[in-house]
């Protein structure tokens, strides 16, 4: 009987081809949209991680308690050794040292006198080492507004709005006045190699980015680092994995000293825990709404498909086939159609989602200006639910629609069958 049903489905295109196409299209859209939503909702988390928090962050205990104040006098010592240890203990994580600092930036005129100055927020990171991922991580190349990236020591990037305020052009000298690690006054000269746009008013108002080696020299921080940021090599933040890694590191590196290293996940920094949870909830809500909509569409498709076959059903009943057998065969056919469409749609949806995840869609061409804080490439993010999510509308809704339409089989009266068949 199963073989007979399969042959019937293959030969009758109205019973197989069209329903399978409808189910495939619905499942494909469901899978692709869920992956896209995950990627879209993760953009803000990804931007925050790349710029300030990382997926994981290692600091001294004292620094962690006051991290919003950038207390470089409490920075980690022997940062290079600690980075090497982290690389061995967590090989799936890419580690990068950074120093955040504040101060005053002075722009002298041709006579060496101050022509303009203003408060500045600074970031020291690896810009000059071969193979450094920091330039790509912060999207510095595409965020350039003038000049070029630092190519030598003593060069720095300045936020574009701040440079215009100070009347500084690429190639001009600027002087950083800040506080050294030991509390003394630090004065250091940089050459503005270029300007960048952050896409954030607060940062564009006054920011400088320089190589971490120069910042260490300027602030008298030899082999010290305020923060060591970790980024999962897969590219996406996994809160459960991050919490697990942080817990295992803190359990091994227990110490009562205030300069002992401590690891925090992204969700353990500031208010990011609330955003991580909200982004997951919102993504789920949007996916559920779309799934319900697709379920209604496919449910109606199954319902209409069953109603259109009432003439066939009447003929089968008139030939003496039992109502229960007719009903079961319709359900079996809908299961076959639902499974076929769900599997096909999931594969196609995952394929398009993978293309969007790997290559993305470059939106910089339709933006006025790409910035560090605004991703210029839209990407999807494939997660485990994408492999089975499409079966909910594809299989369950299709079978449910057929089951509801098939209830009418038990209400059919033999006396009316011939009249219906004549029509």
Q: For residues 76 and 421, which has the higher predicted lDDT (pLDDT)?
A: 76
Q: How far apart are CA 327 and CA 306, in angstroms?
A: 10
Res. 404: pLDDT tops 80:
no
Res. 342: pLDDT tops 70:
yes
20-34, 103-117, 308-322, 368-382: which is most confident: 103-117
What does the block give as tokens for 288?
A: 């559920």
Res. 81: pLDDT tops 80:
yes
Res. 5: pLDDT tops 80:
no
Q: What is the pLDDT of residue 156?
A: 94
Q: What is the pLDDT of residue 2?
A: 55
pLDDT (mean) for 402-423 = 60
Res. 157: pLDDT tops 90:
yes
Res. 56: pLDDT tops 80:
yes
Span 356-383, pLDDT tens digits: 888 877 665 555 545 555 566 677 888 8
Q: What are the residue ranges spanned by the domains of the chain?
A: 2-46+275-422, 56-236
What is the value of pTM for the model shown?
0.72
2-11, 26-35, 68-77, 150-159: which is most confident: 150-159
Q: What is the pLDDT of residue 207?
A: 92
- pLDDT band with cut points at 50, 70 and 90 for residue 55: very high
Q: For residues 389 and 262, which has the higher predicted lDDT (pLDDT)?
A: 262
Q: For residues 358 and 150, which has the higher predicted lDDT (pLDDT)?
A: 150
N-term to C-term CA, the chain: 29
Among residues of the chain, what percentage have pLDDT more than 90?
30
- pLDDT band with cut points at 50, 70 and 90 for residue 177: very high
Q: What is the pLDDT of residue 400?
A: 76
**DSSP letters along 224-278, please?**
EESEEEEEETTSS--HHHHHHHHHHHHHHS--SSTTSEEEEEGGGSTTHHHHHHH
Among residues of the chain, what percentage have pLDDT more than 70?
79
Q: What are the start-end ranges of the E strands in 24-172?
A: 56-60, 76-77, 93-108, 114-125, 144-147, 155-159
Based on DSSP, count helices (H) and strands (E) in the chain, helices before strands. Answer: 16, 14
Q: Are 63 and 378 in contact (CB under 8 A)?
A: no
The overall average pLDDT reported for the chain is: 81
Q: Are 227 and 58 in contact (CB under 8 A)?
A: yes
Span 196-252, pLDDT tens digits: 988 777 788 899 999 999 999 999 998 899 999 999 987 788 888 999 999 999 988
Q: What is the pLDDT of residue 397?
A: 77
């Amino acid at each position: 009987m199963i073989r007979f049903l399969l042959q019937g489905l293959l030969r009758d295109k109205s019973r197989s081809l069209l329903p399978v196409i409808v189910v495939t299209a619905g499942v494909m859209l469901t899978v692709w949209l869920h992956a896209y939503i995950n990627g879209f909702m993760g953009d803000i988390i990804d931007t925050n991680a790349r710029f300030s928090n990382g997926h994981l962050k290692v600091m001294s205990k004292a620094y962690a308690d006051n991290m919003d104040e950038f207390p470089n006098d409490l920075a980690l010592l022997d940062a290079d050794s600690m980075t090497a240890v982290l690389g061995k203990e967590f090989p799936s994580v890419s580690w990068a040292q950074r120093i955040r600092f504040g101060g005053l930036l002075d722009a002298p005129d041709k006579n060496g006198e101050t022509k303009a100055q203003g408060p500045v927020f600074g970031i020291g990171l690896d810009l000059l080492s071969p193979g450094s991922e920091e330039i790509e991580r912060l999207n510095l190349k595409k965020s350039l507004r003038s000049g070029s990236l630092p190519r030598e020591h003593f060069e720095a990037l300045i936020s574009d709005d701040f440079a215009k305020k100070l009347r500084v052009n690429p190639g001009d000298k600027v002087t950083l006045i800040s506080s050294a690690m030991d509390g003394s006054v630090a004065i250091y000269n940089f050459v503005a190699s270029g300007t960048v746009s952050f896409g954030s008013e607060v940062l564009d108002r006054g920011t400088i980015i320089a190589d971490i080696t120069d910042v260490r020299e300027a602030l008298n921080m030899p082999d010290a680092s305020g923060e060591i940021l970790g980024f999962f090599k897969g590219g996406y933040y996994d809160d459960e994995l991050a919490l697990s890694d942080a817990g295992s590191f803190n359990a091994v590196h227990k110490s009562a000293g205030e300069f002992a290293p401590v690891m925090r996940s992204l969700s353990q920094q500031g208010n990011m825990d609330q955003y991580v949870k909200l982004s997951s909830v919102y993504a789920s809500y949007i996916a559920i709404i779309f799934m319900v909509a697709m379920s209604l569409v496919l449910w109606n498709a199954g319902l209409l498909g069953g109603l259109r076959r009432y003439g066939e059903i009447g003929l089968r009943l008139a030939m003496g086939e039992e109502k229960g057998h007719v009903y079961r065969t319709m359900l079996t056919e809908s299961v076959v159609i639902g499974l076929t469409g769900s599997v096909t749609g999931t594969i196609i949806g995952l394929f398009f989602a993978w293309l969007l995840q790997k290559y993305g869609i470059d939106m910089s061409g339709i933006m006025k200006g790409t910035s560090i804080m605004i991703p210029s490439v839209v990407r999807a993010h494939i997660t485990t639910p994408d492999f089975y999510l499409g079966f909910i509308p594809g299989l369950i809704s299709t079978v449910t629609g057929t089951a509801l339409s098939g209830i009418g089989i038990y209400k059919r009266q033999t006396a009316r069958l011939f009249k219906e068949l004549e029509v």
